[in-house]
Amino acid sequence: MMFEMMNMPIVTSQYWNIAYGRAAGEVAQDTEGMQTMRTLADNMAWLLKKIHADGHPEYPEREPWQPMNFIR
């Protein structure tokens, strides 16, 4: 949850971003893992294009942080 707390955009995929293989080259045989990585790459490229569409990202204005202390 640290990324959300720092207002960072998070790129998601369709499942856990991992592919499995024991020996060299076996990861390429994990079809689901490789599809997940391609989806992650596509989503990451899309987000970066949207953020930097005109070279000047327009971030939303933020309100000042107002911490709450539950111990009064």
Q: In whole angstroms, give the CA distance from residue 38 to residue 17.
A: 10
Q: What is the pLDDT of residue 44?
A: 93
Q: What is the pLDDT of residue 52?
A: 85
Q: What is the pLDDT of residue 26?
A: 94
The distance from CA 49 to its chain's CA centroid, rounded to whole angstroms, is 14
The pLDDT averaged over each successive group of 10 residues in the chain (72 residues) is 86 91 93 94 91 79 84 75
Q: What is the pLDDT of residue 72?
A: 67
Task: Give the angle subtended at the CA of 42 by the CAs of 40 and 44, to the nearest 5°.
Answer: 65
